[in-house]
Amino acid sequence: MRMGGWGRLWVVITALYGVVVAFVAYDGRPTFEQLQYNWVRDGSDTIAEAISRTEKAELSGIMLREKWFAAKTDAEAITTLEKIATSPTENQKLFSSEVAKVNEKHRQIMSQFGADQGKHVLLSLAWWLGPSLVLLVLGWSAGWIRRGFREKSV
């Protein structure tokens, strides 16, 4: 099969668009570190809300993370959140049940991590393939219409 100028142009545009889609897909992919960070953020926000309600003082999750979890990695902070849910101290009993709900939610999110990565790859492929095929069909249709208006040599 011989490819004309328009076909070559389609290949180049599709390849360049593929590079852009690959870059955006890689940059926006779900990562394990991001999931851990979200877990710690949700847990500290929950603790801060419970303390703010009880103590009638304004405490944000960011302030709590800076004071309580600043020296810890996200994995260590998650271990601390798990400990608060399973064996809380007297002060931690105030928010341990809410932290347990956050932990359960994020354990479920973590268990779906591989499937979410697969969905992300498939969605990225669809974002590349869909517009590429639409462009191909539009180009082929435009050429077909243009050929129909040519004068036929007798």
**pLDDT tens-digit series, residues 84-119:** 999 998 888 889 999 999 999 999 999 999 999 999
Q: Are both 58 and 13 inside the same structural domain?
A: no
Does residue 11 lie within any of the structural domains? yes
- Tell me the C-alpha distance between 66 and 97, whole Å: 23
Residue range(s) defining the domain that contains residue 100? 32-111
DSSP state of 28: T
Rounded Cα gap, residues 146 and 85, in angstroms: 70
- Among candidates 36, 152, 137, 53, which has minimal Cα distance to 95? 53
| Whether residues 37 and 102 fall in one domain | yes
More confident site: 145 or 71 = 145
- Residue 40 in domain: yes
36 and 100 in a single domain? The answer is yes
pTM (2 d.p.): 0.75
Q: What is the mean pLDDT of residues 35-62?
A: 89
Residues 55 and 103 in one domain: yes
Coil/strand/helix, residue 2: coil
> Does residue 154 fall inside a structural domain?
no
**61 and 78 in a common domain:** yes
Q: Is 118 helix (H, G, I), strand (E, B) or coil?
A: helix
Mean pLDDT of 126-142: 94
The DSSP 8-state label assigned to residue 92 in this structure reads G
* Domain assignment of residue 137, yes or no: no
24 and 36 share one domain: no
Number of domains in the chain: 2
Q: Using the 8-state DSSP alphabet, how is residue 150 labeled? A: S
Contact 103, 81 (CB under 8 A): yes
Same domain, 54 and 42: yes
DSSP string, 99-115: HHHHHHHHHHHHHTHHH
> How many Å apart are CA 121 and CA 73, to the nearest integer?
28
Mean pLDDT for 16-37 is: 96
Same domain, 25 and 45: no
Report the C-alpha gap between 89 and 85 in whole angstroms.
Answer: 10
